[in-house]
Amino acid sequence: MSRSPVRDFVVGLFVLAGLAAIAYLSINVGGLSYNGPGGLTLYASFDQTGGLKPRAPVVISGVKVGQIAGIELGTDYRARATLDLDAKLALPTDTTASIQTAGLLGDRYVALQLGGEEKTLKSGDEISFTESAVILERLIGKLVHNAPGPNDTTE
Amino acid sequence: MSASSATESPHVELSHVRMAFGTREVLRDLSCRFPRDRISVILGGSGTGKSTLLRTVGGLVRPQSGSVMVDGEDITKLSESDLYRVRKKLGMMFQQGALLDSLTVFDNLAFPLREHTRLDRRAIADAVHVCVEAVGLQNVDGLLPGQLSGGMVKRVALARAIIGEPVILLCDEPFSGLDPISARRIESLLIDINKNRGVTLIVVSHSIPSTMRMADHVVVLLSDGVVEGSPADLQQSTDPRIIAFLSDGADPSVTAPDDLPGTTARGAIPARAERAAAPK
Amino acid sequence: MRAIQDLGFAVLRFVVDLGALTVFTLQVIRATLVPPWRFRLFVDELFKLGVLSLVIICVCGLAVGMVLGLQGYNTLVRFGAAESLGAVVGLTLVRELGPVLTALLTTGRAGSATAAEIGTMVATEQLDGLRMMSVDPIDLVVTPKALAMIAVLPLLSALFIVCGLAGGYLVGVGLMGLDGGNYLASLQSAVDFRDDILGSLLKALIFGVLIGLIATYRGYHAAPTSAGVSAATTSTVVVTSVSILIFDYFVTALWGV
């Protein structure tokens, strides 16, 4: 049990390396961040979420600006998503939220397209313009049958 | 058979102890006593339970029935943590030394002091060196147990057993595996520890001659019982079992401390050759 | 008839063994909470169990990552989804291969060494020697080793995963020509801290507990012969490996809920 300071140093390095690996995985890969809810909370209702999940990213021009905090069924039986966004964003009141797919097999996410209005959305506001998710099967069904889609609210 | 010192209460006393491992009964209704401040030797053929008896006194095994009084306390009734308290009065010298093989000799000897006392580094180093010299060694501090010879291991083990200043010293076959000179050295060390430090000794031994030389009290474990007495008592005994034991009870596979060089140590003519040639 | 008796006996023995393991675990917990605390020995064990396992963990991590990269690429490219390679490699490593393979490798290397070391101490009466010096072998020998194993496994698992990700990157981007940015982006979007990383670390922690307790238990209760030590070592590897895989299922099932 020789008390070697070199050994202790090596053990210290090992522990640091391990903790660094854990930190890298948590923050860079897993997306852990220590700021709380972004600050700007908006709501958007969709006819079809197409599998949009909580914690899915919200992007503007391809850059992540927040995430979906939750999705629930609204009083109008549409899907109401809560968007948790960066507080510094200034979004015009005619901003559009659309559900997109990342790649062919990818996950759903929400993309925001800015409008032109002067006034900006405040925390708690509703995004009026939304585009629901495209369901692949219906699209193919339309092509195949070359007929209008089903009579209830369409995509 | 009379006990050697009937005047004072024994330091260690066993009463009707039964020790069995599963279905194998090793000690059956055993009662014996070990007098205070004396050297007691446990004799017996192989497999009669000598080591088990010693381990029972140390509390390493717990008997199924009976009592084991150590310095007035029945250790069979104690919990493990209480046992640790009692063991601080004991020292044990194991047959293979049982030194911690990852520590140097110095660290091995310092270990009990570091664990249980608040002595500073200088005091510990002094105590270690005193004990090392007491067992006749020098310049062994930095060696690992694996680098020591058999005799040196035993001596370090003995040093470790006494460094905590025990009242009772238990020795499991301290002479086994040693050459005659080393064995004699250990024998005189043990006698010295008893006389000069006033430590009660309980020694398990295979060797009748050294027992007769050093013991004040002998406990002989026979296959059908136990016989106690002083060496003189045993030599004058008319008990046929004792006579048989003394004449050829010494285990021929172990070197006795006074085997002459030239006598084959293993399997040769045992006690008879010793007694005929014993130089006194 | 005899077979049924044997089965009953085996089940009974298993239950008794489990009970003994539980008692042992409680003793270790008590030794952890009650002073004296053996920090020095704990650090020594971190070295023996952790640092000395680094090479095997990192090399295997890299190798596994490279294989995943290769296999993943070959499969995904058929669906035109090769940009998701980062996600595939990352999720496989983080959720399963990282903690499980790290645990199995560590069992073989450090777990068996621990069982053998303690078993040898039993055989050479060193543990009895400690008891006679009023030192609890569970406090001095067992607990530092067990605690070090628990601490080491999440660290090694994370390092394994990072090396694996690097291996996947080497194959996917370096060899197959995928875009590096895509690899990392798909990795980041697919792996979530709460679902995946936290679950991965939890698994590694649980596996560390399994290895730490079983290896020390087997060594501590080894028969004091060389055959006994050998039996303790092999049974450590076997029992621990099986337990890891079984617990893996349960943790995966429960954590995903």
Mean pLDDT for chain A overall: 81
> Bridge partners of B33?
B13
Give the chain A residue nearest C41 (alpha carbons). A1
pTM reported for the whole predicted model: 0.80
Percentage of chain B lying above the pLDDT 90 cut: 31
Residue B24, token pair as written in the block:
């194998």
Contact A1 C40 (CB under 8 A): yes
Query: Could you tell me if B141 lies within 8 Å of chain A, comparing CB atoms?
Result: no
Provide the pLDDT for residue B271. 41
Read off the pLDDT of residues C211-232 as tens digits, 9 standing for 90 and up: 999 999 999 999 999 999 999 9
**Coil, strand, or helix at residue B118?**
coil
Residue A39, token pair as written in the block:
């600050």
Burial label for C242, CB within 10 Å (0-12, 13-18, 19+), is exposed
Residue B77, token pair as written in the block:
């009734």
The secondary structure of residue A148, as a DSSP letter, is -
Contact B84 C132 (CB under 8 A): no
Mean pLDDT of A101-110: 76
User: How far apart are the C-alpha atoms of A23 and A32, rounded to whole Å?
Assistant: 9
Residue C133, token pair as written in the block:
């010096």
Q: Which of A47-51, B2-6, C246-250 has the highest mean pLDDT?
A: C246-250
Mean pLDDT of C151-175: 94
Residues in A touching B102 (Cβ below 8 Å): 1
Cross-chain CB nearest to B94 (options C129, C134, C136): C129
Contact B87 C132 (CB under 8 A): yes
Read off the pLDDT of residues C60-93 as tens digits, 9 standing for 90 and up: 999 999 999 999 999 998 988 888 888 899 999 9
Give the chain C residue nearest A6 (alpha carbons). C47
A69-103 as b/e: b if 16+ CB within 10 A:
bebeeeeeebbbbebbbeeebebebebebbbbbbe
